[in-house]
């Protein structure tokens, strides 16, 4: 969207861009509320903003399904 970290921080109601930098570098995860605000501000789905978490969630869900299926039979 072309925003600076400072502009995103301001749009989210943060006082500084430190948290935004931490989110970008994977040092910190935003709260669910902040993640949804990021989705709105940046016009991008949360899953796109946090692809590593999405990939991990998919892998864990597939693994859980396989365990569930093997226990059901």
Query: Quick check: 19 and 28 in contact, CB under 8 A?
Result: yes
Per-residue confidence (pLDDT) for residue 73, from 0 to 100: 66
Q: Which domains does the chain have, with CATH numbers?
A: 5-72 (1.10.260)
CA atoms within 13 A on the CB side of 36: 3
Chain position carrying tokens 């948290």: 19
b/e string for 2-35 if b means 16 or more Cβ within 10 A?
Answer: eeebeebbbbbeeeebebbeebeeeeeebeeebe
* Whole-structure pTM value: 0.81
- pLDDT tens track, the chain, 73 positions: 899 999 999 999 999 999 999 999 989 999 999 999 999 999 999 999 999 999 999 999 999 999 999 997 6
Maximum alpha-carbon separation in the chain: 55
């Amino acid at each position: 969207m072309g925003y600076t970290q400072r502009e995103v921080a301001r749009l989210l109601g943060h006082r500084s861009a430190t948290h935004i930098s931490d989110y970008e570098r994977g040092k910190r995860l935003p709260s669910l509320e902040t993640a949804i605000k990021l989705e709105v501000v940046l016009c991008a789905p949360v899953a796109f903003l946090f692809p590593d978490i999405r990939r991990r969630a998919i892998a864990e869900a597939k693994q859980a399904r396989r365990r569930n299926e093997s226990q059901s039979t």
